Every structure is written in structure tokens, then in C-alpha cells.
Amino acid sequence: MAEECIFCKIIRGEIPSDKIYENKHIFSLLDNNPIAPGHTLVIPKKHFKTILDIPEQELCELIKGVKKMTMAVVEATDAPGFNIIVNGKKAAGQLVDHIHFHIIPRFKHDNIRYECPAIKYKEGQKQEIMDRIKKVLK
């Protein structure tokens, strides 16, 4: 709910934040629990939970903001790389139910790790999942 949403409260100015930038559509701030210096969040001003909920026009404005902020963060931190992360729903680690992009400056030997061992498909599983996704798209 937008009423109780922490990001909506930040946008409305009801709670303080390390705001970096805002325009008509988006708001950008430093994450208050950063995993790297310059860890930045970009959020739409309107409350939508995930990428599945936000209308395409709003999403275009959001992704334009993500690119603008990524350019700024990378240049300001001199980072040789960056991650852009979006968590969708609780099962994927989304803690704040207001869609947001994380921009994380990355450096060699920065000790940030994503432990994601690749899985092996079981017999027939790959074809089945491909067919199911294609069917949804029809």
C-alpha cells in the first residue's frame, strides 16, 4: 500500500533520505544499507510493486532514469563495472514492495559475490519449460 510504503513516504518527504536526484517520474537516493560505496536506488514516483505491475510508459521513464543514474554513479566512483539488480517479490528477496533498481558500483576484488551454482535440467525438463513459456507468449 502506498500509504505505508517507505519509499512513498520518502518521495512525499515524510521521512528523510539521501536524495541524489529527482524528476517528474523518478526519485533516486543512496541505499541506507549499502553493499558498496555509491550503492544507489532508482524508484518511480508512483507506487507499483514489481515490473509486472508498472505500465510500459512509466517503465520507460524508470529505465531512462536508471541509465542516467548509472552513468553518474560509475563516473563519480570511477568504478570499472556495475551491477543493476531488481528483486521481484518476496521469494526473490524483495523487501520493499515498491519497484526499485539497485545500481551497485563494482571493483576488482571488491569481495561482493553472488553464489549461484548452475543447475542441470532433468531429462525433458528444458523442452517442457520452453514449450510452457512459448505457450504463454501466444
What are the residue numbers of the active site? 100
- Measured from each CB, the residue nearest to ligand AMP is 33
What is the distance between the alpha carbons of residues 4 and 8, in angstroms, rounded to a whole number?
Answer: 8
Backbone angles phi, psi at 82, to 5 degrees: -160, 155
Report 97-136 residues binding Zn ion (CB under 5 A): 98
Total number of residues that touch Zn ion (CB under 5 A) = 6
# chain residues binding ligand AMP, by CB under 6 A: 12
For residues 117 and 98, is the Cβ–Cβ distance under 8 A?
no
Closest distance between ligand AMP and the C-beta of residue 103, in Å? 11
Nearer to ligand AMP, 23 or 32 (CB): 32
17 touches ligand AMP (CB under 6 A): yes
Tell whether residue 84 is a contact of ligand AMP (CB under 6 A). Answer: no
> Residue 40 Cβ, how far from ligand AMP at the closest point, in Å?
10
Using a 10 angstrom Cβ sphere, with 0-12 exposed, 13-18 middle and 19 or more buried, the burial of residue 58 is: middle
Q: Does 111 bind ligand AMP (CB under 6 A)?
A: no
Please tell me the distance from the alpha carbon of residue 90 to that of residue 69, in angstroms, as a whole number: 26
- Cell numbers found for residue 8: 512513498
CA distances from 55 to 47, 50, 110, 120 (A): 11, 10, 36, 35
The binding site for ligand AMP (CB under 6 A) comprises: 6, 17, 29, 31-33, 41, 87, 93-96
